[in-house]
């Protein structure tokens, strides 16, 4: 492994989203191996994107549905290509296979889009998730992208089980890859109970589950405020829309704070983190951040999913939103209970998110598959079938668009 190409869905924003932080940790892992890394994306640049040049990572702007990518990737000749979410695999993987057939193709799912979509649809309809919800067109596309790839990175243990037991995927194609935490940077001690105050929630407002959680907090907050009249609810997150800013109410202590320059700092100052998530997928970076600064949290089963055992949660897990408020108040007021919850934080981080161990396991898996790539691909008949020309509708649609665009330009 020498040359790595990462094709991003967006430019990494580690301070805006868990996905951005996760991507940056992956890029840094590759650089730690002394591998040459280039990040390419068709996305527009943003104000909060990380400076990859400072990380020793080159960048390239690429276009969707354009043959110029073929010339670019042929000239670069990567040894491995990472596709950031299935949409990038659909768009670019066939071009990579055509121009760099021996390059290892890795899909980073971030979280399962099909699971998040299924839960959102069921939530909007006010019912439980059905098989019909789960086996959607998005699922067909995402599962196909996993099958076409040599390795798919899966962030959640729950999603690993779902793919193996429900979608019947071969475990040889999957690799459990949760968030990586540099344990050396995790503080042994943070602010004590009596130096913390108020409740906190944080999350990118553009992410639908996070926005819904803000609306849930708006409904829950009066019940908390009645019992704790001096407390405040501080809500942080990137890209707050006008409808979110309109919820800011100093009179009731419901405060929309917006962008947090130092997420760990505001998290450490809070006594309790609240995340009443009703749908979503993957594992929640905000809750891992809370654990890292030893801030107990109250969340739902969706929020806690795949992060640790429910009885080990550093705080409380409940799906009853009327009970949610009472649990939050109890945790906020009861120092003894709070200290018990706090003591679990570092245990979970050390056991589940050791970045050195997780990174080593991924590099070993990549090298193992790469060293036996021909047989690995022979074993994946479903993937080979999906890459057959008769199955490549995404390829031909992209070529048609490229030809159409070229004709339009000429005219």
Among residues 215, 189, 194, 177, the alpha carbon closest in space to that of 84 is found at: 177
* pLDDT mean across residues, the chain: 94
Residue 192, token pair as written in the block: 């004590």
Residue 113 banded pLDDT, cuts 50, 70, 90: very high
pLDDT of 393 strictly over 80: no
Helix or strand or coil: residue 264? helix
User: Which residue stretches of 9-65 are H helix?
Assistant: 18-32
User: CA-to-CA distance for 91 and 66, rounded, in angstroms?
Assistant: 10
Residue 411 banded pLDDT, cuts 50, 70, 90: low
- For the chain, which domains are there? 3-180+355-410 (3.40.50.2000), 185-352 (3.40.50.2000)
160 membership: H or E segment, kind and range = helix 157-165
User: CA-to-CA distance for 337 and 324, rounded, in angstroms?
Assistant: 16
pLDDT of 141 strictly over 70: yes
**Interval 94-109: pLDDT, tens:** 999 999 999 999 999 9
Query: Under a CB-based contact definition with an 8 Å cutoff, are residues 234 and 256 in contact?
Result: no
Spell out where 69-225 has E strands. 80-84, 104-108, 151-154, 174-176, 199-202
Query: Under a CB-based contact definition with an 8 Å cutoff, are residues 20 and 207 in contact?
Result: no
58 membership: H or E segment, kind and range = strand 58-61
**Interval 357-378: pLDDT, tens:** 999 999 999 999 999 999 999 9
User: CA-to-CA distance for 203 and 222, rounded, in angstroms?
Assistant: 21
Residue 10, token pair as written in the block: 């967006």
- Phi, psi at residue 98, to the nearest 5°? -70, -40
Residue 169 banded pLDDT, cuts 50, 70, 90: very high
């Amino acid at each position: 492994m020498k040359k790595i190409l990462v094709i991003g869905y967006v430019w990494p924003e580690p301070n805006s989203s868990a996905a951005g932080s996760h991507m940056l940790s992956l890029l840094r892992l590759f650089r730690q191996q002394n591998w040459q890394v280039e990040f390419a994306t068709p996305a527009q640049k943003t104000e909060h994107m990380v400076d990859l040049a400072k990380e020793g990572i080159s960048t390239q702007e690429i276009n969707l549905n354009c043959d110029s990518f073929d010339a670019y990737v042929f000239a670069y000749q990567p040894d491995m290509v990472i596709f950031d979410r299935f949409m990038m695999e659909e768009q670019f993987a066939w071009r990579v296979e055509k121009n760099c057939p021996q390059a290892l193709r890795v899909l980073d799912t971030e979280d399962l889009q099909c699971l998040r979509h299924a839960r959102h649809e069921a939530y909007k309809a006010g019912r439980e998730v059905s098989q019909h919800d789960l086996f959607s067109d998005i699922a067909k596309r995402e599962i196909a992208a996993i099958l076409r790839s040599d390795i798919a990175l899966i962030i959640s243990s729950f999603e690993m089980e779902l793919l193996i037991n429900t979608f019947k995927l071969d475990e040889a194609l999957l690799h459990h890859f949760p968030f990586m935490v540099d344990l050396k940077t995790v503080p042994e001690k943070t602010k004590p109970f009596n130096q913390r105050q108020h409740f906190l929630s944080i999350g990118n407002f553009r992410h639908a589950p996070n926005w819904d959680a803000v609306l849930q907090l708006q409904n829950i907050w009066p019940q908390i405020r009645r019992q704790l009249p001096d407390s405040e609810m501080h809500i942080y997150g990137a890209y707050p829309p006008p409808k979110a800013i309109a919820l800011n109410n100093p009179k009731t202590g419901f405060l929309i704070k917006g962008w947090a320059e130092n997420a760990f700092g505001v998290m450490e100052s809070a006594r309790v983190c609240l995340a009443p998530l009703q749908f979503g997928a993957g594992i929640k970076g905000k809750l891992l951040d809370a654990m890292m600064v030893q801030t107990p949290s109250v969340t739902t089963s969706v929020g806690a999913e795949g992060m640790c055992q429910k009885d080990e949660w550093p705080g409380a897990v409940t799906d009853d939103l009327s009970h949610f408020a009472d649990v939050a108040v109890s945790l906020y007021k009861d120092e003894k209970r709070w200290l018990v919850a706090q003591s679990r934080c570092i245990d979970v981080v050390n056991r589940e998110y050791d970045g050195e161990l997780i990174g080593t396991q991924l590099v070993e898996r990549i090298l193992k598959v790469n060293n036996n790539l021909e047989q690995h691909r022979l074993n994946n008949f479903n993937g080979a079938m999906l890459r057959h020309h008769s199955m490549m509708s995404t390829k031909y649609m992209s070529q048609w668009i490229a030809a159409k665009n070229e004709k339009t330009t000429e005219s």
